Amino acid sequence: MADTASHDDGGKAAVYAALFANLGIAVTKFIAAAFSGSSAMLAEGIHSTVDTANEGFLLLGMSRGKKPADAQHPFGYAGEVFFWSFIVAVLIFALGAGLSIYEGVRAILHGGHEADGVPWIPFAVLGVSFCFEGYSLSVAIREFMKLRAGRGLIRDLRDMKDPAIFVVLAEDSAACLGLIIAAIGVGLSWYLANPLFDAGASIVIGVVLGITAVTLAIEVKGLLIGESAAPEMTDRIHEMVRSIPEIKHINEIRSLHLGPHQVLLTLSIDFADDVLSQRIEAIVTDLDHDIRETFAIVNSVFLEVQSRDGHRRIIAETPDIVSA
C-alpha cells in the first residue's frame, strides 16, 4: 500500500499549497479592493475566499475518507472525498461565480469607482497573487504529472480518480486566468477612465468560475455514481486469469472505485469440470493474492465460481445487469 500512501501525500501537498496561497491572497485582495474600490478586485477576493474554504473541504474529505470500515460502511469511507469535492463544485458556482457576477452587475447599475492615478495597489496585489497562484498550480501540475498514464492530456485528466488533484488544478487554473482578467479590467478602467471595464471583468471572472464549477461537478458526479477502474487494469487481470489452465472461461470482470485509491473487484469464472474443489480453493486464494500484490489500490476482491451457461441465464433474467 506504499504506492497508495504516496498518492495521498501528493494530493495533500497540492491541497495544502493551494490552501495557504489562497488564504494569504484573499486578505490582500480585500485590502486592495477597499483602497481602490475595484469590483474586479473584490470579485477576486471573493474567489480566493471560496477557494480557501474549498481546500478545507477537500482536506476534510481526505481525512474522513481514512476512517476504518465498520458495520454500517463495510467498505470504508473512501468515497467521502468524492462527496466533499462535489460540495466544492457547488460552492464555486454558488458563491464564487454567483457573487462575482452580482458584484459586476451591481457596479454597472450603480456606477463603478474611478481610480485616482495609477492603481498601483491593485496591480501589485494582482502580481503577487499571480506568483502565489502560479506556485500552487505548479505543485498540482507536478503531482498530476506523477500520476499521468501517458494517454494524452485530456484523457489523463478525465481518467483521474483523485479529486484532490484535479479540483486544485481546475481551481488554480481558473484563479490564474481570473487574475489576468482582473488586471486587464483594472488597467482598461484606469487608462480609459471608464469603470465599466472593471465591472465587466468581474462578470467575466464569474463566468470563468461558473464554467469551472460545472466542469468539476460533471467529473465528480461520475465518481459519486461509481466509475470502473482503468481498462488497462482490467486487461491485465484478464491476462492473469487466462494464464491459469484450469479456468475454462471468464464470465465477467467488474470493478468499482470506492475512493480515489480504493477499488472493489468482482470476477465470475468458469472452471473445467474435472478440477477438484481443493484445487479450485487454492487457485482462488492465489489469484486473490496476486491481484492485490499487482494492484495496490485493489483492496476488495470477490471471486464467484459459476458455469458459463449459468452466468448467461442470470444475465438474461436480470435486465438491469449489464454484462461486462
Q: pLDDT by residue (tens digit) across 151-188?
A: 777 777 777 788 878 888 888 898 899 889 989 988 88
Q: What is the distance between the alpha carbons of residues 202 and 43, in angstroms, rounded to a whole number?
A: 6
Q: pLDDT by residue (tens digit) across 216-228?
A: 888 888 888 888 8
Q: pLDDT by residue (tens digit) across 260-305?
A: 889 999 999 999 989 999 999 999 999 999 999 999 999 899 999 9
Beta pairing class for 262-271 and 298-305: parallel
pLDDT band at 9 (very low <50, low <70, confident <90, very high): low
Closest CA to 266 of 197, 191, 323: 323
Q: Set out the domains of the chain in order of their start, with CATH numbers.
A: 2-225 (1.20.1510.10), 231-317 (3.30.70.1350)
Instruction: Report pLDDT for 284.
Output: 93
What lies within 8 Å, CB to CB, of 95 at 6+ separation is 46, 50
Helix (H) or strand (E) holding 300: strand 298-305
Q: What is the distance between the alpha carbons of residues 222 and 233, in angstroms, rounded to a whole number?
A: 19
Angle at Cα 259 formed by Cα 64 and Cα 238, nearest 5°? Answer: 155
For 300, list phi and psi in degrees, rounded to 5.
Answer: -140, 115
The widest CA-to-CA distance across the chain, in whole angstroms, is 91
Q: What is the distance between the alpha carbons of residues 319 and 102, in angstroms, rounded to a whole number?
A: 48
Q: pLDDT by residue (tens digit) across 180-206?
A: 998 998 888 888 888 888 889 889 989
pLDDT band at 122 (very low <50, low <70, confident <90, very high): confident
Which residue has better confidence, 188 or 37?
188
> Exposure pattern of 86-101 as b/e (b: 16+ CB <10 Å)?
bbbbebbbebbbbbbb
Instruction: Report pLDDT for 2.
Output: 44
Q: For the beta carbon of residue 289, count every other beta carbon within 10 angstroms.
A: 11
pTM, rounded to two decimals: 0.77
Instruction: Report pLDDT for 8.
Output: 57
Closest CA to 205 of 10, 80, 48: 48
Q: What is the distance between the alpha carbons of residues 174 and 201, in angstroms, rounded to a whole number?
A: 14
Cell of 274: 474435472
